[in-house]
Structure 1
Amino acid sequence: MDTAALVDRIPVSPLAKDETHSVIDVRGVNKNYKRTAALRDIHLNVQHGEVFGLIGPDGSGKSSLIRAIAGVQQYDAGIITVFGSRVDSERSAERVKSRIGLMPQGLGNHLYPELSIEENIDYFAGLRLVAKETQGERKDRLLEMTRLKPFRRRPMKQLSGGMKQKLGLVCTLIHQPELVLLDEPTTGVDPVSRRDFWSILTDLVHESGMTAIISTAYMDEAAYMDRLALFMDGKIISQGSEDSLLALAPGTIVSYKSETAHLETQRVQAKYPQVQALGDMVRVFVRDEEPEAACQSISQIASPNHGAFTATPPELDDVVASLLTDEAAESSSATESNQLDETDAARRSPLHPDRPALIHAEQLVRDFGKFRAVDHVCLEVAAGRIFGLLGSNGAGKTTVIKMLTGLLPPTSGAGSVAGAPIGKASQAIRERIGYMSQSFSLYLDLTALENLEFYAGVYGLFPKQRRKRIPELIQKVGLHGYERRLTADLPMGIRQRLALGCALVHRPRVIFLDEPTSGVDVLGRRQFWEILVRLARDEGVAILVTTHYMVEAEHCDDLALMYAGQVVAAGTPETLRINLQQNAGTPLSFATSSPTHALRVARENGFQRAATFGRNLRMLSGDIERDKRRLSGLFQAENIDVSDWQRDEVTMEDVFVDSILSQEQEMR
């Protein structure tokens, strides 16, 4: 049963539909952690039935505000009112806690590892005094919505990161709260499951009377929010719709192809800080200029062999990254360091097809009892190339990495890493690789410098080598100014740079990164990928990375998409996009006031791969005009208003979503 049909079975909240009073009212709230101001004079108001979003960089105060509203954290000054009741102490919070569902930040931090999915849900249902006669039906409905039903007896500790997040959501919703507070609930969740999550949540809000306040690291999720608050440095710098936030940094995105995109970004970055190399495409944010003027400005500094310019409006990612750059230009050492002489870089950086394969896997299989987690996977990564391993939660990506790094023996198959065979030379492999696991694995009670020194010792660097290597790493990964700070106090993006520095301390020829930017803000993610691209292009490191950010997939030279343990698609990003357009059509999107109803109608009439995106529906069409006429007739018959029909470019998210949905249809 699809999400649209499931939502129709959700009972309406007892909260009156015509209720118009504020659910949350925050006035002049301040919160300090010793000398650090986490919240500074915060004012916001959330109305009944709203989806209110909190966006902003790591450490900007979003989580502190959510915890204060939930009554699980004290604040220093101001007033917070929830359901008309003032929340300023543990005792006062008890008056509203039964009406609230809280999902804290972190992969399953509030769940119990030894309990199964079903046992965790039953525990939270009992904790929330859910009646036995309604608990079973409610549990089954939520498990079906979140695609967890087949795994209901699996222990929580054996779940992938995204499955933990979905279980956390079920446990939060099991008592049908009137207000849900979700702190980055989709971090670590694959794009298909993220769309399912938002479809479920927004329809619960709009059809069942629930109110939601949600923080997110994914700027594209702003499309699902009624209103947003943009946080920076403990302050709200703007509130309103997505359009009002986009207006904070007007400008134009100019894109063009370049044979040396990596070097081109270094040239352009001197004048335009927000520039990315996505494969052979250069993407530049030109602030405060209209499309024609922006293209003219870039033409004056672009290399002579550039391709045609394309001008598009900036996305929220671009605006937030630009504002963050303005806010903290002095901390952009990650983008300023390691500026290579172009002649030297050109000699070292181009991709050479004859470079040796440093990662090789042939017919890898891994069974856990009767369950096959990895099913005859083949892949190859040459020196100087970035290989992206994509897939839904539980597809087998992390298991592949564990076999290649010697942490898990394969059931069958063969492979080698940096010249050492997997399964037989696990110690040799570990000495030659750098590895960042899905969960943060450094020592929180050590400073950044102490962690680097510890890992230098683990990898056997002599004191003289450490004195030279550690300063190099601090510059390379952008840790200047953070050396003496406790790791526990570092923002998420800086922690991940530190983890990368520790993985690089022994100069490995190969690095494995398992969702390295999960939960990191937009600017942190861009800076992290600049480092990875330099490692590959300038130092010839072979990189294998998993990610759920489809924009990041564009940085990869090669991609493999996994489903149910198998590789179901492989190639360069451009090849995968072209194949999708040739086989399935061009993306068609349109706005509707009833996305769930429209989705159900579309799927019942043959558009099986249609998906919601905010208040829009998006699908692939082999004949735009024909499908537009047919859909218009179907929606008119159902009294569904639609508008703003658009033909869109194929994205990597389209590739991912279509591949997964087509595989799911074949499995039915």
Structure 2
Amino acid sequence: MADDQTIVRVSGFVKRYKRHVAVQGVDLEVRRGEIYGLIGPDGSGKSSLMKAIAGVLSYEAGEVEVFGIRVDSERAAEQVKQRIGFLPQGLGLNLYPELSVEENIDFFARLRLVPEAELRERKARLLAMTRLDRFRDRPMKQLSGGMKQKLGLICTLIHEPELAILDEPTTGVDPVSRRDFWIILAELLQERGMTALVSTAYMDEAARFHRLSFLSQGVTLTVGRPADILAMVPGVKVVLQATLQLEALERLKREFPQAEALGPAIHVFLQDPDPATAVRRVQAVLGEFPAPHIRTEASELEDVFVALLLRQSGQTGQAAAAEWTPPASERNTHEGVAIEAKDLSRDFGAFRAVDRVGFRVKQGEIFGLLGANGAGKTTVIKMLTGILPPSEGEGWVAGADMRGAAGTIKERIGYMSQAFSLYLDLTVVENIRLFAGIYGLSGRETRERLEWILAMAGLKGYETDLTGRLPMGVRQRLALGCALVHRPRVLFLDEPTSGVDPIGRRRFWDILSRLSREDGVAILITTHYMSEAEHCDHLALMYAGRVVAEGAPADMKSRVEEEAGRLLEIRTDQPSPALKRLEQAGYAGAALFGTNIHLLASDPAREESRIRRMLEAERIRVDAVTQLPLSLEDVFVYRVMSLERQERRTAKEAAA
């Protein structure tokens, strides 16, 4: 290769599966020492491209070069594999369930011929970094999703590869494990000079990459540094609250395609860089609708990605008016409490999975249940829906006691699992009719609900398509429609938008907002997309089987700011040495976020001055220190890390 700083070079890459073109003409260049991101929803071509670079998948056209070697045969692939670490998509798919944490690591190390002395040192360091050192003897099959993914990362990196190829390593894991992953990766790049190619479906992770490619439907929509991509679609976000939220949102959507409801607020992205002009344009469209507390915020990468997706699909003009309006005769008029958990506990032998959990969900409310993998969320849902009996406590769902009315509860609720629970070899209409029959709907009711679901979920035109061939977002909406076929008062959703593109996710949440606001449905949802939690009216954060924080998203952020301070972003010319110096100075929560550093500061002005003096004394140039609004991921990580520190102190005191 002419340029020894280029680790991977891909040009004109094409991959087909029979007649389906998965990737069409993609170009890519990964440079030494960087974290390069592949962003895109399921089916965008990320995995096919990464497998070809790792030398485990053939391709039909184009060129793939890794370390200067053209990877176009098994022999060529073998030449680069020892210098590569490849983590495939899926929790723990590269691991052995019956082996313990340590046995899995030792197996991969010996497979890669790592010397025993080096193995001991690397294993101790990586187990400490991932906080898995206390679980050395635990079988892999007994680990939570986040722990499996961190173990998979250790096994991928144990031979210290020059290039790590990590396919969606953070999908399906909790925010604390996601934060751990990024810290580990940044440290390895800094200390070992490693290069990483990482894919993700989480739009909020895009800002963490040095450079990235955004893929959709097998083609590249944009390439570059996060800041450069953000500048491609200059604009501003207008945030407001309207008394008649859904009516105001529908009016805004006719003029602005990128308008969405987030909890009680409406966010509108306008491709207009002047904030004052953007506010006037929004107010002009709202007309007589009152909109107090209107303000502007900086746009984010997801806003740009959605704009590019709309441009790709030709939807750059006015958004289509909503097709679905629930008839007044079908609106749910129930009021009061839809779900109540009171001191719920569940033991599995000597292990307490859920410990005295209590919360209420009102009719017409969207309630988010958040928590790390293994926190007890799924066990709570199983108890409330009558699948598991509680060891202690009480619960009521849709007016029925969960202890003795499991059948009644199942008739009154809708449930959408992460696996969708659809029959892939049936058509859209056949799936809806099947679920209508399961719930005992008459012929007339089935016809009425079928038409309602097709309109509500935007499925017109897909009626005779096989479900297994539907795009992910369309299949997701069909699963929601099937869960609603019997007009339930309560809806349980488990990770409902995993792998769906940003436009599909926004459409899905539009439907949920209208179901709660217009149809009065109570919705309990679990999600690992912290940006999605902003849509919830109320949140409960679970940790180690207990509810440790509860409230509206804005209230939870405010409480963390009062306790820990504001979020500062520090941009320097030497981010890694700057982070080390800040950690030495006592900023325990400081972490790399792409090429910038994030930390919490109780007195932002004073801390900025101190940080500038400290880093400049080390000959580290500080380009900017900016205050950012807290995200729910920041809240989640702060709460869980505080509880973990408290547990460690308690354990030390008990041991003393």
Alpha-carbon offset, residue 282 of structure 1: 1.3
Mark the CA change 1:172 to 1:410 in structure 2 (over 3 Å): closer, same or farther. Answer: same
CA distance in 1, matches of 2:574, 2:376: 36
After superposition, the C-alpha distances for 1:101-139 in whole angstroms (9 at most, x for unaligned) are 222223333334444434433443343343444334433
Q: Is the 8 A contact 1:609 1:662 kept in 2?
A: no
Q: Does 1:431 align with 2:431?
A: no
Mark the CA change 1:101 to 1:463 in structure 2 (over 3 Å): closer, same or farther. Answer: farther
Q: Does 1:258 align with 2:242?
A: yes
Q: Is the 8 A contact 1:50 1:226 kept in 2?
A: yes
Q: Look up the match of 1:81.
A: 65
After superposition, the C-alpha distances for 1:469-492 in whole angstroms (9 at most, x for unaligned) are 234223322334444444444443
Q: Does 1:107 align with 2:91?
A: yes
Q: Is the 8 A contact 2:261 2:267 kept in 1?
A: yes
**Which sits farther off after the overlay, 287-296 or 394-403?**
287-296
Q: Look up the match of 1:394.
A: 374
Aligned amino acid, residue 130 of structure 1: V
Alpha-carbon offset, residue 398 of structure 1: 1.8
Mark the CA change 1:337 to 1:311 in structure 2 (over 3 Å): closer, same or farther. Answer: closer
After superposition, the C-alpha distances for 1:560-596 in whole angstroms (9 at most, x for unaligned) are 1112211111111122222222333222221234445
Mark the CA change 1:577 to 1:33 in structure 2 (over 3 Å): closer, same or farther. Answer: same
Q: 1:517 is paired with a residue of what secondary structure? A: coil
2:302 to 278, 299, 317: 317
Alpha-carbon offset, residue 297 of structure 1: 0.8
After TM superposition, list the pairs within 5 Å mapping 1:5-404 onto structure 2. 20-302=4-286, 303-328=288-313, 336-340=321-325, 355-404=335-384
Alpha-carbon offset, residue 145 of structure 1: 1.9
CA distance in 2, matches of 1:330, 1:445: 31
After superposition, the C-alpha distances for 1:71-124 in whole angstroms (9 at most, x for unaligned) are 222211111111222212334322222222222223333334444434433443
CA distance in 2, matches of 1:249, 1:480: 32
**Which sits farther off after the overlay, 386-395 or 419-428?**
419-428
Alpha-carbon offset, residue 459 of structure 1: 3.1
Q: Is the 8 A contact 1:333 1:475 kept in 2?
A: no
Q: 2:639 is paired with a residue of what secondary structure? A: helix
Alpha-carbon offset, residue 318 of structure 1: 0.5
Q: 2:503 is paired with a residue of what secondary structure? A: helix
After superposition, the C-alpha distances for 1:272-326 in whole angstroms (9 at most, x for unaligned) are 0111112222110112452222111111012441124322332110111122123
Mark the CA change 1:141 to 1:520 in structure 2 (over 3 Å): closer, same or farther. Answer: farther
CA distance in 2, matches of 1:624, 1:269: 38
CA distance in 2, matches of 1:152, 1:331: 53
CA distance in 2, matches of 1:122, 1:453: 52
Alpha-carbon offset, residue 214 of structure 1: 1.3
Q: Is the 8 A contact 2:147 2:177 kept in 1?
A: no
After superposition, the C-alpha distances for 1:583-617 in whole angstroms (9 at most, x for unaligned) are 33222221234445444443444433333322222
CA distance in 1, matches of 2:443, 2:155: 50
After superposition, the C-alpha distances for 1:389-433 in whole angstroms (9 at most, x for unaligned) are 112222222221122122222221111111222233333322322
Mark the CA change 1:465 to 1:89 in structure 2 (over 3 Å): closer, same or farther. Answer: farther
**Which sits farther off after the overlay, 524-533 or 108-117?**
108-117
Aligned amino acid, residue 590 of structure 2: A
CA distance in 1, matches of 2:135, 2:381: 23
Alpha-carbon offset, residue 520 of structure 1: 2.4
**Which sits farther off after the overlay, 96-105 or 113-122?**
113-122
After TM superposition, list the pairs within 5 Å mapping 1:435-450 onto structure 2. 435-450=415-430
Q: Look up the match of 1:414.
A: 394
Q: Is the 8 A contact 2:441 2:486 kept in 1?
A: yes
**Which sits farther off after the overlay, 144-153 or 268-277?**
144-153
Alpha-carbon offset, residue 639 of structure 1: 4.3
CA distance in 1, matches of 2:207, 2:215: 17
Question: TM-score, structure 2 length as denominator?
Answer: 0.91
CA distance in 1, matches of 2:576, 2:181: 13
Q: Look up the match of 2:516.
A: 536
Mark the CA change 1:488 to 1:339 in structure 2 (over 3 Å): closer, same or farther. Answer: closer
Mark the CA change 1:355 to 1:248 in structure 2 (over 3 Å): closer, same or farther. Answer: same
Q: Look up the match of 2:543.
A: 563
Aligned amino acid, residue 632 of structure 1: R
CA distance in 2, matches of 1:459, 1:521: 31
After superposition, the C-alpha distances for 1:41-80 in whole angstroms (9 at most, x for unaligned) are 2222212222111123432222221122122222111111
1:611 to 587, 591, 601: 591
CA distance in 2, matches of 1:634, 1:64: 46
**C-alpha RMSD of the superposition:** 2.9
**Which sits farther off after the overlay, 656-665 or 421-430?**
421-430
Aligned amino acid, residue 238 of structure 1: T
CA distance in 2, matches of 1:56, 1:407: 35
Aligned amino acid, residue 472 of structure 2: M
Mark the CA change 1:87 to 1:446 in structure 2 (over 3 Å): closer, same or farther. Answer: farther
Q: Is the 8 A contact 2:473 2:500 kept in 1?
A: yes
Alpha-carbon offset, residue 376 of structure 1: 0.9
CA distance in 1, matches of 2:427, 2:11: 36
Q: Is the 8 A contact 2:436 2:486 kept in 1?
A: yes
Aligned amino acid, residue 268 of structure 2: V
Mark the CA change 1:278 to 1:644 in structure 2 (over 3 Å): closer, same or farther. Answer: same
Mark the CA change 1:605 to 1:370 in structure 2 (over 3 Å): closer, same or farther. Answer: farther
Q: Is the 8 A contact 2:221 2:308 kept in 1?
A: no
Mark the CA change 1:335 to 1:399 in structure 2 (over 3 Å): closer, same or farther. Answer: farther
Q: Is the 8 A contact 1:107 1:165 kept in 2?
A: yes
Aligned amino acid, residue 318 of structure 1: D
Alpha-carbon offset, residue 33 of structure 1: 2.5
After superposition, the C-alpha distances for 1:247-277 in whole angstroms (9 at most, x for unaligned) are 3322221112222323321110001011111
Mark the CA change 1:89 to 1:505 in structure 2 (over 3 Å): closer, same or farther. Answer: farther
Between the two proteins, the alignment pairs up a number of residues equal to 646
Q: 2:459 is paired with a residue of what secondary structure? A: coil
Q: 1:513 is paired with a residue of what secondary structure? A: strand
Q: Look up the match of 1:6.
A: none
Aligned amino acid, residue 326 of structure 1: R
After superposition, the C-alpha distances for 1:363-404 in whole angstroms (9 at most, x for unaligned) are 111222222221111011111101111122222222211221
Percent identity of equivalent pairs: 53
Q: Look up the match of 1:4.
A: none
Could you tell me which runs of 5 or more consecutive residues in structure 2 were left unpaired when the two chains were aligned: 649-656
Q: Look up the match of 2:653.
A: none
CA distance in 1, matches of 2:331, 2:410: 26
CA distance in 2, matches of 1:236, 1:322: 14
CA distance in 2, matches of 1:116, 1:436: 33
Q: Look up the match of 1:12.
A: none
Q: Look up the match of 1:5.
A: none
Mark the CA change 1:398 to 1:642 in structure 2 (over 3 Å): closer, same or farther. Answer: farther
CA distance in 2, matches of 1:308, 1:420: 40
Q: Look up the match of 1:13.
A: none
Mark the CA change 1:463 to 1:99 in structure 2 (over 3 Å): closer, same or farther. Answer: farther
